[in-house]
Structure formats: structure tokens, C-alpha cells
Amino acid sequence: MSNLKHVAVVGATGAVGVEMLRCLEQRNFPVGQLTLLASARSAGKTMKFKGEDVTIKELTPESFAGVDIALFSAGGGISRDFAPHAVKAGAVVVDNSSFFRQDPTVPLVVPEINAADAKNHQGIIANPNCTTAISLMALYPLHQAFGVKRIFASSYQAVSGTGAQAIEELANQSREWAAENRAWDAAKLDSKPHVYPHQIAFNAIPHVDSFLDSGYTKEEMKMENEGRKIMHHPDFRASVTCVRIPVFRAHSIAISAEFEKPVSVEAARDVLSKAPGLDVLDDPANKQYPLALDIAGRDNCAVGRLRVDCALDNGLAFWVVGDQLLKGAALNAVQIAECLV
């Protein structure tokens, strides 16, 4: 590859695609040529990149001629159908969907953790699930120091993790409630939800992704399955409950982790303060801890509420927050691309 790269963004008009363009620009990625790909209904429209209008093209199997790096964020079906065409044309695919993550021939990469794995690609590199990536930004440094055995976690996931229509649904439901001047305890609306199975405004829905026969959802199992692969830790265990909440942007995860070695709050804080891509915000006496509103739009994740877990041996409880459109998706994909240049 030359210094300047021909980069394609598949799903350029989606929430993650927009953030990919912003990350490429803000991080001064060496883009020599940019191809924006989307569905036929978006073809012909333009998007800005470095002040210039770039025309969106329809995604076809022939879209990847001359492309060096293809950033995919258009769903598993698109990745399944079009990533092989990109690889055949000579591009390296960085895929944001779940389709290739458990393929043993495809590296699953968080650059702060296992950047070296990206070098072993066979044309495709997978981007992890957003909740997994954010959680591991805090968990992996602790694992290096103390040896994680298992975690119990609950996620509090923003609607932007579902996409633009979910953002609109939360906004519309909130406006509907306010416009009708309802009492605080009359929060259940008459309108029917379209994106989620239940009203998301003023609610918490313990249902992210589809349910498995075990009773867990696919999203909940990603923490264990992807965590094992990224950390090279086949014995890692995770029991997770994923919850969708009425927050627009940034996921939050409460984690209780059990380690092989004893862990103190002071030792954990020292480890976490040195971790790349992670800020420690842990001063509860002064009401300082990571908040979704504050972390939204930031590249770094943040960790706080550190305390010895009172129910686990060698346990530590903590709260980690990250922008799932950035570290959970677009930023991580661009960082993976940076490993290739």
C-alpha cells in the first residue's frame, strides 16, 4: 500500500458511517481517494469530507476496484454479500457487523488490546460489539494485572446503538409526552412503537438483540464470546443483562469482576490510570463518576465507581462508559485501519 489510501465507506449515510468520516478527517487518516457507498436510494446525494462534497455511489459487487481499505457498517447481510467482493478486488475490509467476529480466520481487534492480531488478517478484520469494546477498555488492563476469571455485568445502552430510526423514535416519544402536558406518572403513550417492542421513552427495556434458547440474548453472549477472542482468554466467563434505556448516545456498563489475584481499589486505580484510551473519573464524594451525557462525543472511555466487590472473592466492581458510535464502532474501525498503514 502507498502512503495515501483509497478508502471506501460502506453504509456511509448511517449513524456509524457518518462518524467514520468524521474520525477519518479528525485523525488525519491518509485518505488519497474516498468512495462513499450506500443503497440505491442514497446514490447521487453528497456528503462533506474535508470541506469537499463527495457523491455517494450505489453499492455493487464492482464498487471496490482500486480500493485499499473498505470500512463496512451496513449490517451483517451486506458484509456477508459484499466483503468477499472487496477482498477479491484487493481491499482489506474492516467490518463493523457481527457476521465475521467468530470466524477463526478473522481477527477481532481492539487496537489498545490486541493490535498485533490485525497483522494476521486474510483480507477481513472484524470490529467487536460496542458493549464488549467499551467494557474491555477497562477490564483488559485489570486482567493483565490481576487475571480476570469471570464477570457479572449489566449494560445500559443508548438508542443510537440501534440506529437513526431509534434516535428518532425516542425523540418523537419525548416530544409527544411533553406536547400533551401529561403528569409525570402518565408516561405511557398512546402511540405505538416501531423500532423497539415497547415504548423506549421513560422506560428501560431488558431486551437487546434476539433471544437464544438459553434465555440470554445474542448481545449478552457477545461479551463472553468476543471477550475470549480479543483477550486470548478461552476460560473467560461473563453473565450479562443488556438493557436499552432512553439515552441518545453513549453506553454504560456496571461490572463486577472476579480475579485470580487479590485486588484493591488503589491498585486497580493505578492500573486503570495508565491504560490507553481510558480516563479515570472516580471521586464519588464530590459526585465525580462517568456520565453518558459527558462521555458522548469523546474518543476515550471512562471508568469510575471503583470498589471492592462484597460478594466475590478477589472482586472489584466498577462502572465504565463509552460512546458506542465512536469507540464502540467508528473510532475503533478507523484505529484498526491505522494499524494497516
Catalytic entry in 130, 143, 242, 301: 130
Residue 101 assigned as binding residue = yes
Q: What is the 3-state secondary structure (H, E, C) of the chain?
A: CCCCEEEEEECCCCHHHHHHHHHHHHCCCCEEEEEEEECCCCCCCEEEECCEEEEEEECCCCCCCCCCEEEECCCHHHHHHHHHHHHHCCCEEEECCCCCCCCCCCCECCHHHHHHHHHHCCCEEECCCHHHHHHHHHHHHHHHHHCEEEEEEEEEECHHHCCHHHHHHHHHHHHHHHHCCCCCCCCCCCCCCCCCCCCCCCCCECCCCCECCCCCEHHHHHHHHHHHHHHCCCCCEEEEEEEECCCCCCEEEEEEEEECCCCCHHHHHHHHHCCCCEEECCEHHHCECCCHHHHCCCCCEEEEEEEECCCCCCEEEEEEEECCCHHHHHHHHHHHHHCCC
Nearest Cα residue to 69 out of 51, 81, 83 = 83
130 annotated active-site: yes
Residue 160 assigned as binding residue = yes
Catalytic entry in 6, 143, 251, 301: 251
Residue 161 assigned as binding residue = yes
Residue 79 assigned as binding residue = no
Residue 13 assigned as binding residue = yes
Residue 228 assigned as binding residue = no
23 annotated active-site: no
Residue 157 assigned as binding residue = yes
Residue 60 assigned as binding residue = no
Residue 324 assigned as binding residue = yes
Residue 182 assigned as binding residue = no
Annotated binding site for substrate: 157, 244
Catalytic center residues: 130, 251
Annotated binding site: 13-16, 41-42, 101, 157, 160-161, 244, 324
Annotated binding site for phosphate: 101
Annotated binding site for NADP(+): 13-16, 41-42, 160-161, 324
